[in-house]
Structure 1
Amino acid sequence: MTKRKIQYWVIPPESDSEFVASMEDILDLYSMPYNASMPVVCMDEQPVQLLNETRASIVGTKEHPQRVDYEYERAGTACIFVFVEPLAGWRKVSVRSQRTKVDWAFEVEELLRTKYAEAEKVILVCDNLNTHTRGAFYEAFSVDKAREIVKRLEFRYTPKHGSWLNISENELSSMTRQCLKNRRIGDISTLRSQTEAWSNTINIKQRGVEWQFTIGDARRKLKSIYPKIKD
C-alpha cells in the first residue's frame, strides 16, 4: 500500500453566505487606517500542558547538546491569552489556570482599564468560542460595571472555520515556536515569566502586522465560498 501525505486544513464549506459576510467584515476592518480612539484589538487563547522533568538534564558541551530525559511528569494545565493591536505593533500575553467566561472577562476588563483607558471604544476581534460573549461580563462584574464595559466594546467575530482571519492566532503560533517549542515548563509562574519576556521583547521592536489579504483577493481566490446568484 502506498503511503500518502496528508495535510490538515480548516476548509470552509462551499457557497456559505454567513462565512462570506463575516470574512468580508473582518477584511474591511483590517483595511481601515489607525484610529487611537477606536483601536482594533485581536485576541485568541490556547491551552498549555504543564510538564515537569523527572531527572536532571545533562548540560550541553562542545561535544554534545543538552541532554534531556524522555520521561516527564504532567503538572496540570494552563491557558495563554494573547491580545494584539496590529497597527500599533503591540501585544499582551497573560497566563491563567483556566479559561472560563469569567477569566476572559477579567482579561478584557483589565485592557480597557489600563492600556485603553483613554479609548472611546475598542473593536475586539475574536472567534466564536462560547466564552467570548457580552454575557461573560455580567457573570464577572456588577450589572452597572458590566454594562459600562459592554458599551466600550464593539465585537467582530471571525466566521466559523475561519480562525485564520484572526491576527492573534498568527501571534500565538509565533510565540509557541519562538518561546515554548521543545521546552518543558512545569508551573504557571515560569510560563508567565517566559511568555511575558517574549511579548516585552517583541513590543520593544514594535513589530507591526501588515495584513495584505483583501476583500478583492477573497472574491478572486475564494470564489467557491461565495453564493451563486441565479438570474
Structure 2
Amino acid sequence: MKPWQVKGWVIPPTANGQFVAAMEEVLDVYKRPYARKYPVVCMDESPKQLIRETRMPVKMRSGQSARSDFEYERCGVCNIFMVNEPLVGKRHVKITDRKTKLDWAELIREIADDLYPKAAKITLVMDNLSTHKPGALYEAFPPAEAKRIWDRFDFVYTPKHGSWLNMAEIELNVLTKQCLNRRIDNMETIKEEVRVWQSSRNGKKSVINWRFTTKDARIKLKRLYPTILG
C-alpha cells in the first residue's frame, strides 16, 4: 500500500496545478544526496489525548488478549513534535502542552541551534499550517534573533491535502504504533517512554526508504495534472 492510499490521507479529486507544483518541489528535495552542511529535515506534529483508566485493565494471559473497559477519564491533551532526518535515520521528539506559533518557533530555534548548529542551511519540509510561518519567529524573539534563525532555513511546504508527502508523518505513525498505542494519563510517562523509543530507534539508525518520485507522480497521479490546451 502506498502512502497516498492510506485511509485519511486525501488527494484532490481533479486537476490541481498548485498541488502538483508543491508536490514536485518536495519530491525534488527528497532526491538530494546526503550533505552534512545541508541537511534535509522533516517536521510534523500530532495531538495525543491523555486518558486514565477508570477500571483496572485485564492483563494478557495465555489464550486471552489484554482487555480494557470502555469507560475512561479524559485528562487533557498534549502535543507531539516530530523532527526527523530520513537519510541518516535520526529523529528528535519534543512533547509540549500546546502547539501554538510560539511553541513552533521555539522548536525551530532548537533545530537550528541544538540539533544542527554547524549546518550552513537546513531544508525543512513541513505541512503548510498557519502556525508554520516565519512571522511566528518575530512573535517569539527580538527581530535580529528571529532573522538569524530564519536565515538558517529553507522552508518547503507540502501541498494542501498532501501531508502524506511529509516523511515526519510516517515517523509519527511508527512512534504511535510502537510506543503510544495505549491509554496514558500524564505527560511525564509519555516523555519518558518517547525518550527511550527515540534513543532505541536512533541507535538502530532506522531510515525511511522513500521511493515515490516525480516520474511516478506524473504517471500514477496523472489526473492531478492540468491539461494543456493548444
Same fold (TM over 0.5): yes
Match of 2:76 in 1: 76
Match of 1:171 in 2: 171
Cα deviation for residue 38 of structure 1 reads 1.0
Contact 1:50 1:77 in 2 (8 A): yes
- State the TM-score, normalizing by the size of structure 1: 0.92
Identity, in percent, stands at 47
Assess, with a 3 A threshold, how the Cα gap between structure 1 residues 142 and 54 changes in structure 2: closer, same or farther: same
Rounded Cα–Cα distance in structure 1 between residues aligned with 2:180 and 2:26: 29
Match of 1:91 in 2: 91
Match of 1:147 in 2: 147
Rounded Cα–Cα distance in structure 1 between residues aligned with 2:109 and 2:205: 24
Rounded Cα–Cα distance in structure 2 between residues aligned with 1:218 and 1:67: 43
Rounded Cα–Cα distance in structure 2 between residues aligned with 1:151 and 1:128: 19
Assess, with a 3 A threshold, how the Cα gap between structure 1 residues 52 and 110 changes in structure 2: closer, same or farther: same
Rounded Cα–Cα distance in structure 1 between residues aligned with 2:215 and 2:65: 49
Rounded Cα–Cα distance in structure 1 between residues aligned with 2:219 and 2:166: 20
Match of 2:133 in 1: 133
SS in 2 for 1:114: helix
Partner AA of 1:94 in structure 2: K
Contact 1:94 1:196 in 2 (8 A): no
SS in 2 for 1:87: coil
Match of 2:219 in 1: 220
Match of 1:184 in 2: 183
Partner AA of 1:120 in structure 2: A
Rounded Cα–Cα distance in structure 2 between residues aligned with 1:67 and 1:8: 27
- RMSD between superposed Cα atoms in Å: 1.5
SS in 1 for 2:125: strand
Assess, with a 3 A threshold, how the Cα gap between structure 1 residues 8 and 69 changes in structure 2: closer, same or farther: closer
Match of 2:157 in 1: 157
Partner AA of 2:10 in structure 1: V
Contact 2:9 2:161 in 1 (8 A): no
Assess, with a 3 A threshold, how the Cα gap between structure 1 residues 150 and 65 changes in structure 2: closer, same or farther: same
Rounded Cα–Cα distance in structure 2 between residues aligned with 1:219 and 1:60: 48
Contact 1:17 1:226 in 2 (8 A): yes
Assess, with a 3 A threshold, how the Cα gap between structure 1 residues 8 and 166 changes in structure 2: closer, same or farther: closer
SS in 2 for 1:98: coil
Assess, with a 3 A threshold, how the Cα gap between structure 1 residues 122 and 69 changes in structure 2: closer, same or farther: same
Q: Greater CA radius of gyration, 1 or 2? A: 1
Rounded Cα–Cα distance in structure 1 between residues aligned with 2:209 and 2:61: 41
Query: Which stretches in structure 1 are left out of the alignment for 5+ residues?
Result: 1-6
Deviations 1:190-219 (A, max 9, x none): 111112211211100001122111111111
Partner AA of 1:20 in structure 2: V
Query: Which stretches in structure 2 are left out of the alignment for 5+ residues?
Result: 1-6
Rounded Cα–Cα distance in structure 1 between residues aligned with 2:91 and 2:71: 34
Contact 1:104 1:132 in 2 (8 A): yes
Rounded Cα–Cα distance in structure 1 between residues aligned with 2:33 and 2:211: 13
Rounded Cα–Cα distance in structure 2 between residues aligned with 1:65 and 1:10: 34
SS in 1 for 2:15: coil
Match of 1:16 in 2: 16
Cα deviation for residue 61 of structure 1 reads 4.1
SS in 2 for 1:29: helix
Rounded Cα–Cα distance in structure 2 between residues aligned with 1:63 and 1:184: 23
Partner AA of 1:192 in structure 2: K
